């Protein structure tokens, strides 16, 4: 390992995915996988050792901290490593929290190996890389701000899509039932719909929530 080698941590709860990413990245002479983590909590703890340049982070782990939460914890540190999100999810509900948490790059798991390696190098240099579908969605969001949902509205509609009642949503999010109804009213206006079913369908088509 040379002084210019980019030291990587792979955080994913699937051993096969970790092995696949390691196999791809270690074919590059300037990249070295020095650690793996099966949970987001393990990734946050391992970064504390101070020898990681770039973390490749999945978004969804089985229970516990999410990838976005881990990203926020990691990037809040002084001299923090860069975080590259590598996931299968590309909806606003996934991308926006991760980017807001401080992720430098966002790639999908079907990205070509050369794109992954390039994104790692770009992230190590402090520059941003976004999967084309994610970049397109963010641009569309900027061009059509009227249809953009707030983080809370996205949470509410995601729970609607799961079949929860207003009362159950309020309990889950620590909101009154009246507040949930107010959020839904704003969602209906933004999406130009008049029912829960139509709101879920419209938001899914726009990539605002994941089904």
Q: Are 175 and 169 in contact (CB under 8 A)?
A: yes
The pLDDT value given to residue 145: 58
Q: For the chain, which ranges sit under pLDDT 50?
A: none
Which numeric CATH code is attached to 6-140?
3.40.50.2300
The pLDDT value given to residue 143: 59
The pLDDT value given to residue 148: 75
CA atoms within 13 A on the CB side of 102: 15
| Whole-number CA gyration radius for the chain | 19
CA nearest neighbour of 84 among 34, 26, 125: 125
The pLDDT value given to residue 63: 81
The pLDDT value given to residue 92: 74
Q: Where are the domains of the chain?
A: 6-140, 146-205
Which numeric CATH code is attached to 146-205?
1.10.10.10
CA atoms within 13 A on the CB side of 99: 18
């Amino acid at each position: 390992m040379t002084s210019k080698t980019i030291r990587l941590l792979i955080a994913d709860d699937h051993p096969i995915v970790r092995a696949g990413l390691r196999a791809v990245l270690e074919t590059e002479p300037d990249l070295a996988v020095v650690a793996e983590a099966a949970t987001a909590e393990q990734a946050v703890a391992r970064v504390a050792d101070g020898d990681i340049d770039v973390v490749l982070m999945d978004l969804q782990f089985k229970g516990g901290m999410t990838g976005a939460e881990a990203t926020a914890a990691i990037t809040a540190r002084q001299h923090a490593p860069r975080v590259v999100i590598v996931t299968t999810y590309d909806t606003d509900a996934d991308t926006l929290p991760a980017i807001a948490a401080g992720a430098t790059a966002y790639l999908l798991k079907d990205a070509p190996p050369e794109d992954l390696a390039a994104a790692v190098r770009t992230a190590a240099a402090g520059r941003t890389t976004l999967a084309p579908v994610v970049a397109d969605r963010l641009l569309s969001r900027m061009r059509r701000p009227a249809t953009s949902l707030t983080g809370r509205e996205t949470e509410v509609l995601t729970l609607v899509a799961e079949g929860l009642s207003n009362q159950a949503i309020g309990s889950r999010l620590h909101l009154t039932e009246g507040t949930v109804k107010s959020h839904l009213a704003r969602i209906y206006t933004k999406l130009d719909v008049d029912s829960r079913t139509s709101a879920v369908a419209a938001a899914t088509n726009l990539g605002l929530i994941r089904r």
